[in-house]
Structure 1
Amino acid sequence: MTMTRRNFLLAAAASALELPLATAYAQQKTVINYGGSAWLGHYPAYIGIKSGMFAANGLEVNWQSFGTSSARLGGLLSGGVDIAGTGIVSALALMARGSKHLSVIGAAEDFGKVEGLFVRNDVQSVRDLKGKKIGVTFASSAHLLVLDLLTGAGLNPERDVNLVNVPAPELTAAFQSRQVDAAAAWTPHFTKIRAMPDVRLLADDTSFSLYKQFGVTPGPDVLVARRAFATKQPEAVRKFLQTYFQAAVMLRDKPEEAAWYLTELTGLSMADQVSTIKEATWYDLGQQKALLAADSKFATGLQKLSDLLATHKQLDKSPPVREWIDTSYL
């Protein structure tokens, strides 16, 4: 019998998950609508779909692409998205409004070296940005990084610089055409700007004030689930997490193999894709409970991050973040 590509991928995924092939085919598929984008926090979900790993674990995961985390979470609140990857900043905004429609169920990765602030070669320090235009997507992790860097250097973000709200996909062109003097971006835009001539990376997320002490970037990636869905389909959420972190292990241990699935999503060359994968720290399933435990450094860092956002007036108030963390699906 001739094996189709779909069946081949299913067989490979079944082997990766140590499932009998007959069991993989026989499992009834549960449908999960996943909200993603080309950002690296979604790589494991995309690989899980394209490789057949989710299918082998009895899940039919539908990819829905959103340009921003806020739009993605809007889809979750409306019921069109069941599970999503998101920067924590957008999730904190919902928490600050008291929304109980979502739960944080996982921590994706540490991307501290693939988000940062780019400048021209004539800028040697953050203080040299005084009087310049900085392109950044407002209400994002990159926005908080810029605010943190500026205040840390003694500059007033409202008076000493001109912050320009530029949607993430437009940052590369805005910086290249000199509409802005500096640009704060995340991958894949980070990778594209870094490749330009006469450009230097002034600071990445490892320069963020909370990073060294708590290991949190300005907007750590988390996985969130719609509570109504997770309550009705707890086993599906568990299988999703099992598979997602199986794909994360592939990213960590076999970056060249993982990159093969991703270039269509990101538009990066294979070399740049492999480099981007290697620059992130990929968490596995076994690390999740320790990361998200109520007394963990990471959970404490998320609360400190929330407090800092409120200080910078990015949130009206700082919510008690731990009330939204749910490790029962791990």
Structure 2
Amino acid sequence: MQETRRRFIKGAAMGAAALALPMAGKTWAAGAQAVRYGGSAWLGHYPAWLAIQAGYFKNEGLDVGWESFGTTSARVSALLSGNIDMAVTAAPAALAVMSRGSRHFAIIGVPENFGRVEGLIVRDGVQNLQDLKGKKIGVTFASSAHLLVLNLLDQAGLKAGKEVAVLNVPAPEMPAAFQAGQIDAAAAWTPQFNAIRSMPGARLLADDTQFSLYKDYGVTPGPDVLVARRAFLDKHPETVKRFLKAYFRANEQLRAQPESTVAALTELTKLSAADQLEMVKGADWYGASEQGALLAPGSKYIDGLQQLAEMMVRYGQIDKTPPVREWVDSAYL
């Protein structure tokens, strides 16, 4: 588990922010408040991209610049070092930084729930989790899918590394490894998730909705959270409020009119229109009206993130459990 711990903690806290690659965005009239957003082609960044392309930020007097990152750790590092102001990140990466005591950022929103586009895919002969005994599962270590696998095996009373071999396979290589028979099961997220599911003889055994915390708290193994640099929040509170207004306007469009978002999003993802629409429809998009309940003190969602942090400690992903509530700030909604 040492490599896993390094990737979650050291990678998130110390990854090179220089990996940020500026991506051409729209530049608005002089005088607009600048906001630097860190994103990627992952669906958690769709709202920010759509709000840029549709002019929602412009309408709020904001000039939001987009910087693309290849890894979550690079994105989080850029936020902590002040190279970007806001980003969406997988909660485990944020929890890893919290566990180190960093107070330089806050969770200010929850974009979506993507529990149906990540899961454990097996071959036809595997009917249940118990059938995985003695088999090989491929998963990318230090990922949300890794947490899902460890939790599913735990639920089934199977020991990872003893009764079931859990192998570290980079996400892009997962489809080929499954197709070649190098692994008996694959834990992946979209688009690899979709590619493997479509292979002959493959079937979905469990997705994120079978994750133990999802059942009780609605929290997946790697839920996305919208985070902002604390110094930016303190200096530009009204800007943050306008950002969130435009951001959740895009979320409402993703939820209510998914077809209308496809053309803009394919510029980011390079997916086909059909695959892009499937991606949008595969997530549950949260609107502005739902944020207060999600982020409120004592909310089921924040309690779920706390439980996720405790689970990460049990599975050796982080060293100690942070008090998650202390990093949540709903004052800008």
| TM-score (structure 1 length as normaliser) | 0.88
Structure 1 pair 176–63 and aligned structure 2 pair: CA distance change class (3 A): farther
Q: Deviations over 1:196-246 (max 9, x none)?
A: 222111100000111121111112110010111221122222122111111
In structure 2, stretches of 5+ residues that fail to align are 1-25
In the TM superposition, residue 173 of structure 1 has moved relative to its aligned partner by 3.1
Aligned to 1:240: 243
Matched-pair contact (CA < 8 Å) for 1:38–1:188: no
The equivalent residue for 1:180 is 183
Equivalent position of 2:256 in the other structure: 253
Aligned-residue RMSD, C-alpha: 1.9
Question: Which residue of structure 1 lines up, in the alignment, with residue 332 of structure 2?
Answer: 329
Alignment size in residue pairs? 308
Paired letter, 1:307: E
Alignment counterpart, residue 304 of structure 1, candidates 304, 307, 315: 307
Match of 1:166 in 2: 169
**1:142 Cα deviation (Å)?**
1.0
Query: Displacement, 1:85?
Result: 0.4
Unaligned runs of 5+ in 1: 1-9, 11-24
Distance change (3 Å), C-alpha of 1:82 and 1:310: same
Q: Distance in 2 between matches of 1:326 and 1:68?
A: 25
Which one of 120, 127, 131 corresponds to residue 123 of structure 2? 120
Measured in 2, the distance between the counterparts of 1:240 and 1:218 equals 27
Shift of 1:134: 1.8
Letter in 2 for 1:155: L
Shift of 1:26: 6.4
Identity %: 59
Question: What does residue 43 of structure 1 align with?
Answer: 46
Q: For the structure 1 residues 267 and 166, does the alpha-carbon distance in structure 2 shift closer, same or farther, using more than 3 Å as the test?
A: farther
Per the alignment, do residues 133 and 293 of structure 1 end up closer, same or farther by CA in structure 2, a change over 3 Å counting?
A: same
For residues 295 and 331 of structure 2, the distance between their equivalents in structure 1, rounded to whole angstroms, comes to 11
The letter for the 1-side match of 2:306 is Q
2:69 corresponds to which residue?
66
Q: Which amino acid aligns with 1:284?
A: G
8 Å Cα contact 1:27/1:58 also seen in 2: no
Distance 2:71 2:323 in 1: 24
Q: What corresponds to 1:132 in structure 2?
A: 135
The aligned residue for residue 268 of structure 2 is 265
Which residue does 1:201 correspond to in 2? Answer: 204
TM-score, normalised with respect to structure 2: 0.87
* Counterparts in 2 of 1:78 and 1:250: CA distance versus 1, 3 Å: same
| Structure 1 position 95, deviation (Å) | 0.4
Tell me which residue corresponds to 1:96: 99
Q: Distance in 2 between matches of 1:198 and 1:291?
A: 39
Instruction: Name segments (4+ residues, structure 1) moved above 6 Å.
Output: none
Once the two structures are superposed, residues 244-266 of structure 1 have per-residue CA deviations (whole angstroms, 9 ceiling, x without a partner) of 11101001000101122112323
